[in-house]
Structure 1
Amino acid sequence: MKKLILIMVLVYCKAFGQSQFADTVKISDLAPPSSPAFVLLDAAPSSIEKPATAKAFTASVINLINNNGGAAEFTPYWLVRRSNMTSFRYLGIKEDKQGELYQRSIASAKLISISLAVLNKNNTDEKAGKSVSNIVLGARTRLFQINKKSAIDTVIKYHRIIVDSLARLNSSIADVAIEYQLKMRDINDKNEIVKLTKERNNKIKALQAGHLKNTKSQSDTIRKFLTEKPAFTVDIAGAVNYAFDTTRLSSGRFDRVGAWANINWIPIRNDKEQRFLHTIGVLRYLTNDKLVIDKEHTEYHSYFDFGGKVEGEFKRFSIGFEYVRRLDITNKDLNSDRAAGVLNYRIADNVFLTGTFGKNFGLDNSLLTLFGLQFNFSNEKVVIKQ
């Protein structure tokens, strides 16, 4: 019986020693991604998006003046409580057969996000003069990611220091538990037991405080690297659109399908000042169900987009310019391009304002002016200490 009580005390103290000071970093502090649903219909404030961490839930509205539409995006992986999401798991750090640690570049692929948008926009039937409503389903994920090697090496080094400190902490907690178990073994006075229990817990808290103090520098460094932007990423996305005339629900059809990849590289960065220069390329394939020319003529069109974007990011504010060339595979006379400036401002931690000014796709050289808001509802956390 005494052995059973001792085991229970040790288990309790170990759990008490680890759970009371779990050091975490909120990944929700990072910028939310744009909805692939808006990108598919050329309605996104930016046709080329810089990489961002997928969120548990994000809501977006665009063209606030005309009230054109809105989208919601969620990441199933983050909707489940991830108590075991450590810094190693988040960064994709694994151990090989020789016991060496390395980063898996495809670790972020599991963070696939799903988006749904409703948008009133004249797309494939615009020449017929019809108003079209769209319901778009999209998905996106990170195919490939490379962090700075110095950052990964530092995380591995400091993680080992923290783990060793935790091992010593658990050993000390076990010693304290045994010490006070022996003291309370032959005591029947309840007041004395309460006194010794309080004394034991205070010693454990002191051990915890010492551990936190001794590993604060390492924890702060790991926290910084967890929120640091990767040096190189490849994101892939796709979406499908179901469109129907606003006057006839029976006219519904699958209208446009697309898939694309964004490739991002940060050649210039100052992580301390949060200043970055992003260079982003895009490759995209789109196909339309039909393009109504007039009442008697219908054409089917496919497109191939390619282009790039340069964006400067300065803490809460970013400004960039993008150019995308659209090749009409069916009719080269309909080739067009998009050239636009994009502004982003973080109003609050989870609220982002975007604005776009320039020329959109099409041969009519129409002026592109879009405004949007993004709301981030998430609480993703990564445990620094295991």
Structure 2
Amino acid sequence: MNYKPILYIIVCVCLSFSGWTQEGKTDQNLSDFTMSNPSSPAFLLVGESPTEIYAPTNLKALALHVFNNFGESFSIEVAPYFFINRKSKNRTYYKYIGIEEDQTTGEVKQKPFRGLNTTTLSFAYVDKEFEGIVGKRKTYSVGLRTTLLRFYDKDKVYREAKKVGNILKNLDNPPVDVLADASGDDPVKRAIAEKAIIEHYKKEKERIHPQLKEFKKTVKPYVSVDGAIGYSALFKGDKIDSGTANRLGSWITGQGSLILNEGSDSERNNYLNVLVTARYIEDEFNIGANDQFFKTFYRDLGAKVELEIDRFSLAYEYISRNGSINSERSVGTLKYTLSKDITLIGGFGKDFPVDDNLVTVFGINWGVNFGGKVAMKE
């Protein structure tokens, strides 16, 4: 009996289940991930971000950030991992997040450095006024970000994966006579049988959908540590040959996340996140006597508390700056998840500059998928 047509149909139908849950899928399409990176290192370095303390938990292949003066301020962030060796069979979801089962002992292990998969490159352009500099200046910047350490509740993630696997294994097969017709030589009977098989698995999808509902929620690592570096160049005059002033920074951000509604019937997991950050920046975006640019050095230490409830996220962050310049930033932010690809974010409060330091920022973050996938099962 030729089972190739049957297997093809079953595979096609089973792939339609991939919109439900991150664990247990045959393939994880990047568009299934909810957008969660509210800015980029390239934007953060030039102070064009509602929040300066953040740690994305998942990424798009490509993210576009646009804040305030649309057309004069935008950033693109690229995750190379999703463009490299996309057809490899070893790109499983569990390997991506660093949770694997030892094939010899059966022990579930956490790979804390697997977060390097989340490395991103970001590019930004802004045309804005900077503290102490008269008039707008065109500025370009680049940034690199990666997750240095990341820990999930590995036993919980693995148990949920097993549950999803068992649910999908319990799909009822179509009647034997229908399967026989689908592999037979009669083209009419084969066409009818193939349609019947598709209808059968559509009903199976509806049957097990309630069982899979709890597994479609995004799960965050309970601890993660991110590192980033950035470089920015500001044109001193209106011409490219006028020379540039440079800004260079590096920083590290740690995040701890506590789930607040585990086991609930809600569509999303709610979290309380606590973040801390430390930065060092060398900055030439300063003008002194005779309109000469000069360099300053400063260190930033800050913390942030964030509450995620359904589609809303409410946060407050405080950063203390010491060095050649002593200042502080105290900003509240509100984020709304419009869809899995688009988030809206706004910030209001006191920014670093000494004068006119009231900041009001509104932005849109848009994640784009170019078809990259991460396989979900071994």
Tell me, yes or no, if structure 1 residue 324 matches structure 2 residue 319.
Answer: yes
Tell me the amino acid that sits aligned with residue 101 of structure 1. Answer: V
Helix, strand or coil for the counterpart of 2:132? helix
2:77 maps to amino acid: E
Paired AA for residue 39 in structure 1? L
Structure number with the higher helix fraction is: 1
Q: 1:292 to 1:268 in 2, by over 3 A?
A: same
Pair 1:20 & 2:13 matched: yes
> Residue 54 of structure 1 aligns with which residue?
59
Task: Find 1:372's aligned residue among 357, 363, 369.
Answer: 363
User: What RMSD in Å do the two structures reach over aligned CA positions?
Assistant: 3.6
* Alpha-carbon distance change, 14 to 347 in structure 1, aligned in 2, over 3 angstroms: closer
| Residues 63-93 of structure 1 deviation map (CA, whole Å, 9 limit, x = unaligned) | 238x651112222333469565544344333
2:260 alignment counterpart: 269
**Whole-Å separation in 2 of the counterparts to 1:165 and 1:383:** 21
In the comparison of the two structures, how many residue pairs are matched?
357
Name the residue aligned to 2:73: 69
Task: State the one-letter code of the partner of 1:94.
Answer: E
Q: Could you tell me the percent identity over the aligned residues?
A: 26
Distance 2:340 2:168 in 1: 32
Q: CA deviation at 1:282?
A: 0.8
Aligned partner of 1:280 in structure 2 is: 275
CA deviation vs aligned residue, 1:220-266 (integer Å, no higher than 9, x gap): 44433xx2233222222221112203412112336011121221112
- The Cα shift of 1:280 comes to 0.8
The superposition leaves residues 114-154 of structure 1 with CA deviations (integer Å, 9 ceiling, x where unpaired) of: 2211112344xx43536421111112222222223453132
Give the whole-Å Cα distance in 2 for the aligned partners of 1:119 and 1:40: 11
Of the structure 1 ranges 270-279 and 312-321, higher mean CA displacement relative to structure 2 is found in 270-279
Deviation at 1:212, TM superposition (A): 5.2
Select 1:197's aligned residue among 177, 186, 190: 190
- 1:146 is aligned to 151
The 2-side partners of 1:380 and 1:280 are apart by 30
Gaps of 5+ in 1: 1-5, 185-192
The residue number in structure 2 matching 1:116 is: 123
Larger Rg: 1
TM-score normalised according to structure 2 size: 0.79
Following superposition of structure 1 onto structure 2, how do residues 355-370 of structure 1 map, counting pairs within 5 Å? 355-364=346-355, 366-370=357-361
Find the counterpart in structure 1 of residue 244 from structure 2: 253
Name the aligned partner's letter for residue 140 of structure 1. R
1:189 maps to none
Q: For residue 282 of structure 1, what is the amino acid of its counterpart?
A: T
Shift of residue 308, structure 1, vs aligned partner: 0.2
Shift of 1:285: 1.6
- CA contact 2:42–2:141 (8 Å) conserved in 1: yes
- Using a 3 Å threshold, how does the CA distance of structure 1 residues 160 and 373 change in structure 2: closer, same or farther? closer
Query: Does the residue aligned with 1:29 lie in a helix, a strand or coil?
Result: coil
State the 1:107 CA deviation: 2.7
SS in 2 for 1:106: helix
